[in-house]
Copies of this chain bind each other. A is one copy, B any other.
């Protein structure tokens, strides 16, 4: 049994980052940036009025007061939002501006419309304004030198918007692709229930932004599994089933036959101990149990942290602290993945371990809304102990 932490460290050192590809910015939501983009200009590019009024040079209106207005020459027209006026405001004059308009060169403040009176090509201003009063300054809305996205960031709405603003039509993102094989004679030949673990894994990967290019099934045969695995070029190849520690380790034999640079079979993880992890050509082969909870344990406890170590900032689940209503027990030296249902009682959050069944218990995922990871060094948590729960569902209020 290999320590989860050690294998994480070893594998993250051997994996390459996924290949990059250029995609239109408007299609980049939820992808992982393969480049760092830094903002390259300022907004507003010049002082911008935040009121309707008259752009002035502040020094020109310094003596103004309600009883003794300053009168300036009024230029023709109105400056409106959206345009840049190249002209310079002559000393001793003012120009009408709407909210959002950029000031002309030389103007540095705005007298609000309610403190002014127009008359015959002039404007009487009944209030002094300080320099930069009623304007937003260059760079207040958008500045040079601010990182928009960094390598590995998952592109969110505000990132995408800033890439549009920067004038980028395309952005380089990682091509995070995966293929999935579900192995088992009973899956190929038919069984008393519909196999679904491959769809659980495919959906989990899709929800993290992976493109899942193939979801197949194969019989319990090292040749069939090796043939499929050998034909895949995705950065991540997932195989479910055929990983038992005893004789039914078809998948492990198949991965060994590929001649990987690295392979371990057996993680100190409960459930999920039969997982097999291999690296070949910088790409990851992950074999996990075909039982849904064991497979999910491998994804949550091993794959999610691994993706982050490799530099893909896959989202973490929201976490809350809650008190256990019953003890959770895990074998010594093994990381535990315990499903719980978090609920509120009075003012406190309680976490009830969902004990149903074993690693095959899809019901435990439906009844629960979170999981607790018990680290290797602990044999569990006591009833009443406060634990950190990773929530995949909502806490009912």
Contacts and interface: CB of A to CB of B under 8 A. Distances in A.
A184 B80 CA distance: 11
B360 A136 contact: yes
Contacts of A26: 199
B392 A192 contact: no
A160 B360 contact: no
A141 B357 contact: yes
A45 B192 contact: yes
Interface stretch (A55-63, A65-73, A120-128, A362-370): A362-370
B83 A191 contact: yes
A246 interface: yes
Interface in A251-309: 292, 296
Contacts of A292: 158, 161
Interface stretch (A173-181, A201-209, A372-380): A201-209
A384 interface: no
Given A30-B207, A136-B357, A362 B158 contact: yes
Given A136-B357, A394-B313, A199 B362 contact: no
A130 interface: no
Contact of A82 (B158, B191, B392): B191
Interface stretch (A9-17, A162-170, A228-236, A343-351): A162-170
B196 A164 contact: yes
A117 interface: no
B99 A244 contact: yes
A52 interface: yes
B361 A142 contact: yes
A356 interface: yes
Contacts of A84: 192
A178 to B, nearest CB: 14
A156 interface: yes
A148 interface: yes
A51 B218 CA distance: 24
B207 A83 contact: no
A43 B193 CA distance: 8
A325 B123 CA distance: 44
A388 B365 CA distance: 29
A362 B207 contact: no
Contact of A206 (B29, B185, B363): B29
Contact of A361 (B140, B206, B316): B140
B207 A158 contact: no
Contacts of A199: 26, 157, 160-161, 164
Contacts of A6: none
A81 interface: yes
A359 to B, nearest CB: 9
A116 B186 CA distance: 27
B141 A207 contact: no
A318 interface: yes
Contacts of A29: 203, 206-207
A366 B200 contact: no
A50 interface: yes
Interface of A: 26, 29-30, 39, 43, 45, 50, 52, 80-84, 98-99, 102, 136, 139-143, 146-148, 156-162, 164-165, 167, 184-187, 189, 191-194, 196-197, 199-201, 203-204, 206-207, 244, 246, 248, 292, 296, 313, 316, 318-319, 356-358, 360-363, 365-367, 392-394
Which 5 A-B pairs have CB atoms at the shortest separation, nearest pair first? A82-B186, A157-B203, A140-B357, A318-B318, A82-B191
